[in-house]
Amino acid sequence: MIEIGQTIPNFTLTSHEREEISINQYRGKWVVIHTFPFAFTGG
């Protein structure tokens, strides 16, 4: 689990516009990561 203020490892995700977004693009900036862990899974 990532704690507040902890440095996170590099990762890349696909945006809703189908663009690849890398967390490295935001190094040194404040970032809020919001996830929907059960979205579209029926769970």
Average pLDDT over residues 29-33: 83
* CA distance linking residue 34 with residue 31, whole number of Å: 10
Query: In terms of pTM, does the model score above 0.85?
Result: no
Predicted confidence at residue 40, as pLDDT, reads 67
Predicted confidence at residue 43, as pLDDT, reads 56
* CA distance linking residue 42 with residue 29, whole number of Å: 34
